[in-house]
Chains A and B, each alone.
Chain A
Amino acid sequence: TQLLEQSPQFLSIQEGENLTVYCNSSSVFSSLQWYRQEPGEGPVLLVTVVTGGEVKKLKRLTFQFGDARKDSSLHITAAQPGDTGLYLCAGSTSGTYKYIFGTGTRLKVLA
């Protein structure tokens, strides 16, 4: 069974601080996606990474896919209250068309 473990589970930080969220697995994924979910809504895709070692930037968010495609990280620089939400990673194995979601990291950024 493929599993994706996210850490930390909860994170409460002050506005302006930096943070990193980790997504780890013992399985290899062909692609990995990061989502953000607001209360009462469905997840919204932030980024997809497909190549081992790939780094993608989305404004203050930096996403990295591990060289072995078993792990990923999300780094937020100078967090803002608008970054508050549940962050989910999801991995897919080529040809399966199924996504395995991580356990989630709930982030709260205090003004």
Chain B
Amino acid sequence: NAGVTQTPKFRVLKTGQSMTLLCAQDMNHEYMYWYRQDPGMGLRLIHYSVGEGTTAKGEVPDGYNVSRLKKQNFLLGLESAAPSQTSVYFCASHASGETDTQYFGPGTRLTVL
């Protein structure tokens, strides 16, 4: 039982390049989330999913796209990376109720030059 895993752990991109961050969970959770964490700003919700095949926008969705084709995977895409997207990205999941424990992955540190 690995919990929530994220790939890759680190990445450096040049402005305009694209990439996909992969989040996988093996707990059969319905809900999955992508956050970004910047110094002094806590975590901000980018996109989330309430089940396989569904996605919804969070607080800061611009410049990102997501897909949830399989229940266990939640992909975050950057089509044309910008320096403002330099951040640490966290994926999280939880089972059903809003008071359920939200489990976080270890994070992906992305730098856009």
Contacts and interface: CB of A to CB of B under 8 A. Distances in A.
Given A42-B105, A103-B41, 4 more contacts: A42-B104, A42-B107, A96-B98, A101-B43
Interface residues of B, number: 25
A107 interface: no
A98 B42 contact: no
Interface residues of A, number: 28
Interface of B: 4, 31, 33, 35, 40-45, 48, 50, 58-59, 90, 92, 98-99, 101-107
Contact of B43 (A41, A88, A94): A88
A45 interface: yes
Contacts of A102: 42
A101 B36 CA distance: 11
